[in-house]
Amino acid sequence: MVSTLKVSVRGTMVLPKRVREKFGLKRGGNLVMEETPMGLLLRSGSKGGPVESYTPARLAEFSKGERELEAFLKSRTR
């Protein structure tokens, strides 16, 4: 499903009711927003637990893993 969200002057967005119901999102609930090479990724939020804040070293580790995975997948499709 693809939806277009409008950002208000205050920076708020309204998720469609169907999406809120499907993912059990309630008023005051949390979503995790992650920047990715393809844009923003929204995930159902934590249940009050900690959300990891990535250090530059950890981000570099993720990037290295993604490059290795991409190389592996390319080698498998040849």
Mean of pLDDT values over 32-49: 78
Are 35 and 26 a contacting pair, CB within 8 Å?
A: no
pLDDT at 48 over 60: no
Tell me if 59 is assigned to some domain. yes
Alpha-carbon distance 53 to 61, whole Å? 14
Tell me if 25 is assigned to some domain. yes
**Overall domain count for the chain:** 1
Tell me if 4 is assigned to some domain. no
pLDDT per residue as tens digits for the range 62-77? 899 999 999 988 888 7
Average pLDDT, the chain: 84
Which ranges in the chain belong to alpha helices (H)? Answer: 17-22, 56-76
Tell me if 36 is assigned to some domain. yes
Tell me if 9 is assigned to some domain. no
Structural domain including 67 reads 17-76
Tell me if 6 is assigned to some domain. no
Alpha-carbon distance 37 to 63, whole Å? 10
